Amino acid sequence: MKMIATMETEISLLKGREVDQKNKASGYETLLRDGIPLNEHFLALKNKFNNEKDTLTKHQTALKDEIHI
């Protein structure tokens, strides 16, 4: 009985990994299918990251200033 439960758990984990891999692959296919060069996608992601990082840094600084007051 314990072995069956272990095998069922392994099967569900493998199915989850398969779904994750398919989702990741479809994301890459989307990037390639739209006809926009990959470097443009990477630049857009880099800009988005930098913007979010700046926003969070400003928020963090404001919270630190608020704590000091």
Is the per-residue pLDDT at 54 higher than 80?
A: yes
pTM flag (> 0.85): no
Top pLDDT among 55 and 15 is at 55
Structural domain boundaries in the chain: 1-35, 37-69
The answer to whether residues 38 and 31 touch, using CB atoms and an 8 Å cutoff, is yes
- The region, left, alpha or beta by phi > 0 then psi within -120 to 50, assigned to residue 35 is left
Q: What is the mean pLDDT of residues 25-38?
A: 71
How does residue 41 score in pLDDT terms, banded at 50, 70 and 90? confident
The rounded Cα 20 to chain-centroid distance in angstroms is 11
Share of the chain above pLDDT 90, in %: 35
